[in-house]
Structure 1
Amino acid sequence: AKLFESVFGLPYHSALLIGVVVIISYTALGGFMAVSWTDFFQGIIMFFAIITVPMLVVHALGGFHDSGMALRNVDAGYLDMFTNESGKALQPIAITSLMAWGLGYFGQPHILTRFMAIRVPEEIKSARSIAMIWVVVSLASAVSVGLVGRAYWPDMLSDSDSEKIFMLLVEQLTHPVIGGILLAAVLAAIMSTADSQLLVTASALTEDLYRVLFRPQAKENELVWVSRATVMGVAVLAAVIALKPDSSVLELVSYAWAGFGATFGPLVLLSLYWKRMTRNGAIAGLIGGGLTVLIWKQLQGGVFDLYEIVPGFAISVLLIVVFSLSDRKPEALIEAQFDEAKG
């Protein structure tokens, strides 16, 4: 919605409606195959754009040296990893919170399903390398966009408008045709995440809840329609959450990242490396991690300024271990399958 609002001058809510309709359409009709192919091409566009834009800004500022000097003239603290925006040293809570973002990757279902969909186990190693290269390049380039954008526009944008810096730079520095391609990367980033989240949610609700609890005898055609209805319902709910125009995308993403990471991350890791984990331990960890994130987010000041994924992750691990050790050991067959999977 912010993209369409900035580029086309559309009202925010109209832009939001357009985005919801487009994403629902191809996700509900095409399923996992459509999402996989669209994500592939969207990834190519994103990779090209996220590298190109900071290079264009550096060129416009006169090169790397002049860009660095321009940023120092605005605020030298932006080039120091251990100071905040006011130039003061980062506190341990802030450093821990920044590093804790890495914990979230283990619990992101839309990322894990990509690895689960790999055809043969031998391809996982190459997929891992590709994923790591993508993460390093994209994150480094995204940070570069923020830095050079700050140097190009010394006047600080408002909190909500600062998220439009990529779009503003593209509009300012490129031909409309090239700009359209680069701005498509923003839409690609949004759509590739949204469609994957919708698909995973629909699959979980349809297969793990509807089929298991309510309709074990449900036919495939019925499950397809339930899945499509779920996609629409979740998308509408997400649109309601996004109705506030001045809400921060980063704030919403960080909250969701913590929720997924603390709820599913410990469960995934311990499932892979600890064969003593039991069903009751897994359930306790899921509930405890998710609730901790929800509660911690509502508290402020002191230790509660710590990113909510940290206590959520820790509580989840603790509950999984305690409940699993208090429970009876998994059956010998399960342990044998675990050992076989580990090789």
Structure 2
Amino acid sequence: MGLTTLITFIVYLIAMLAIGVIMYYRTNNLSDYVLGGRSLGPGVAALSAGASDMSGWLLLGLPGAIYATGMSEAWMAVGLAIGAYLNWQFVAKRLRVYTEVSNNSITIPDFLENRFRDKSHILRVLSALVILLFFTFYTSSGMVAGAKLFEASFGLSYQTALWIGAIVVVGYTLLGGFLAVAWTDFIQGLLMFLALIVVPIVALTQMGGWESAVQAVGEIDPTHLNMVQGIGIIAILSSLAWGLGYFGQPHILVRFMALRSAKDVPKARLIGTVWMVLGLYGAIFTGFVGLAFISTQDVSVLSGFGIQVVEENGLQVLADPEKIFIAFSQLLFHPVIAGILLAAILSAIMSTIDSQLLVSSSAVAEDFYKAIFRKKASEVELVWIGRIATVVIALIAVIIAMNPDSSVLDLVSYAWAGFGAAFGPLILLSLFWKGITRNGALVGILVGAVTVIVWGDVLSGGIFDLYELLPGFLFSLIAIVVVSLLGRPDSEIEAEFDQAAKISKEN
């Protein structure tokens, strides 16, 4: 990396830490630390939700998958776009209203306990445990992606790169809590969006236009041009099933809860949907054009940036397809722009890690420490418990990420499935079905989480090659309905449900 690029990159990192310092002085209690005092406007909520959702997967994983296997990987993008829109359409407003009506709940486990009047705390503890389990793996995937970026950009060892990335993200999350996370995610979301629009356009211009890129890819492998050729129904369903995961992702749901008003949801939905669709298109075209570009252009300069190019079947290709965006930033742009583009990749990574760390630390502070051990803990004490938890969880994630051969996509898909199956059906039914009971909620979380763990790791072959999110979601949904029908919620719970439904319709 050149000096100019390095300076640009460092300036960006300092700016993110500065936001953390500024928001430190606006964080006075636990509600501020984990929910920002419900003060987010529609633009910040939408872009921070999108940025925390997409992670390094959008700039590394998806372009790399398209580069390696072609347009058949685009089914995943289709599923995600549909799922994100439906989440904003049906969940956002209702959850914003219901969490405030239900004793001003500030975390998902807090909401579930208040929603079902669970005085035993079992529901809160179980949901918090599931959050900590899957977010540790999810955070680890971001650590791996960050290490790959620093490794390729600075020529550092994998372990050194891993620790540097972890220290930066933990730094501003530790200081500023939710407001720091939301505002850095907003800036990072803008940066990611611009990068995904600019990079494929410049690459296409260098290639001589879209037709030249299509022709080059067709000559390399015609199956790369087709979304259905060479892919079975199980693979398509697995890819589309990613969209179901949105209904259960705590780091996205908390953005809905933090909106300043339910009336902001339509504007936020429009901003978030446009951001996501165009961003996904940019990622797909980056990978597609990347295959044509690397195979037909002189890219020998990449070796100087630690990006390995190898020969396969008479063609030059990237040894690690997930580095195609990094390769383009170094090949096509001025060092200052390259620094900004590399910062965009780090933005994608950090915007997800910070959100996951915050939700995990809030689960420790609010759902374990306060609910079970120190019910009369002061607000300042709870904030510091949250900060300590942030550091501990980050350290565990770093340990998991120590293996340089770790797959970003594998870690993400596992955690995404875990949350989608454990919480997705439960959140939907909690918001829209009066008849759901506490026991139904408990069984649903267990069935969803266990299915994800067993389906992918213990069973294999045939139908078990289906992405574990889909069976996990369906089994959890069925379990909740069946168990809930065996009982009935009390009148107080039903009255609160009616109140939340009424307010939602009025907004």
Q: Give your verdict on TM over 0.5.
A: yes
Q: CA deviation at 1:10?
A: 0.6
In the alignment, which of 230, 233, 245 is matched to residue 104 of structure 1? Answer: 245
1:189 aligns with 2:348: yes
Residue 205 of structure 1 is matched in structure 2 by 364
- Higher relative contact order structure (alpha carbons within 8 Å, sequence separation ≥ 6): 2
Structure 1 portions without partners, runs of 5+: none
Alignment of 1:245-256 (within 5 A): 245-256=404-415
Q: Secondary structure at the match of 2:489?
A: coil
Q: 1: distance between equivalents of 2:239 and 2:317?
A: 22
Mapped to 1, the partners of 2:157 and 2:393 lie a distance apart of 23
Contact 1:275 1:338 in 2 (8 A): no
Q: Which residue of 2 aligns with 1:266?
A: 425
Match of residue 499, structure 2, among 332, 337, 343: 337
Alignment partner for residue 216 of structure 1, among 363, 375, 379?
Answer: 375
**Separation in structure 2 between the aligned mates of residue 212 and residue 322 of structure 1, nearest angstrom:** 29
In 1, the alpha carbon distance for the partners of 2:478 and 2:318 equals 42
Following TM superposition, by how much is the alpha carbon of 1:329 offset from its aligned partner in structure 2, in angstroms?
3.0
Does the CA contact (< 8 Å) of 1:61 and 1:152 recur in 2? Answer: yes
Per the alignment, residue 149 of structure 1 pairs with 290
Name the counterpart of 2:488: 328
- Identity over aligned pairs, percent: 52
In structure 2, what is the equivalent of residue 121 of structure 1? 262
**Aligned equivalents of 2:434 and 2:410: distance in 1?**
36
1:164-193 CA distance string (max 9 Å, x none): 111011111112111111111100000000
1:291 — aligned with what?
A: 450
Q: CA deviation at 1:252?
A: 1.1
Q: Secondary structure at the match of 2:223?
A: helix
2:277 paired residue number: 136
Q: Please show how residues 9-28 of structure 1 align to structure 2 within 5 Å.
A: 9-28=155-174
Partners in 2 of 1:208 and 1:327 — Cα distance? 26
Name the stretch that deviates more: 28-37 or 330-339. Answer: 330-339
- Counterpart amino acid of 1:143? I
Q: Are 1:52 and 2:193 matched, yes or no?
A: no
Matching residue of 1:177: 336
**Shift of residue 205, structure 1, vs aligned partner:** 2.0
Q: Is the 8 A contact 2:435 2:488 kept in 1?
A: no
Match of 2:477 among 317, 328, 334: 317
Of 204-213 and 20-29, more deviation after overlay is shown by: 204-213
Asked if the contact 2:436/2:488 (under 8 Å) is kept, the reply is no
Cα pair 2:440 2:483 within 8 Å, conserved: yes
Compute the displacement of 1:342 (Å): 4.4
Q: Return the letter of the residue paired with 1:150.
A: L
After TM superposition, the score normalised by the length of structure 2 is 0.65
Runs of 5+ in structure 2 lacking a partner? 1-146, 296-315
User: Which whole-Å deviations, capped at 9, do the CAs of 1:108-149 have from their partners, x for residues lacking one?
Assistant: 111111111111111011111111111111111111111111
Counterpart-to-counterpart distance in 2, 1:34 and 1:303: 43
Aligned-pair CA distance for 1:12: 0.7
1:7 aligns with 2:153: yes
Size of the alignment, in residue pairs? Answer: 336
Between the aligned partners of 2:360 and 2:478, the Cα distance in structure 1 is: 26
Deviation at 1:337, TM superposition (A): 2.5
User: 1:277·1:330 contact (CA, 8 Å) conserved in 2?
Assistant: no
Aligned to 1:94: 235
- 2:139 maps to what in 1? none
- Which residue of the partner structure matches residue 118 of structure 2? none
Map Cα deviations across residues 48-82 of structure 1 (whole Å, 9 max, x no partner).
10111111111111111111111111112111010
- Any idea what SS the aligned residue of 1:246 has? coil
CA deviation vs aligned residue, 1:257-293 (integer Å, no higher than 9, x gap): 1111111111111112211111111111111101110
SS state of the match for residue 434, structure 2? coil
Q: SS at 2:221's partner residue?
A: helix
1:76 correspondence with 2:236: no
Q: CA deviation at 1:328?
A: 2.3
Shift in Å at residue 16 of structure 1?
Answer: 0.4
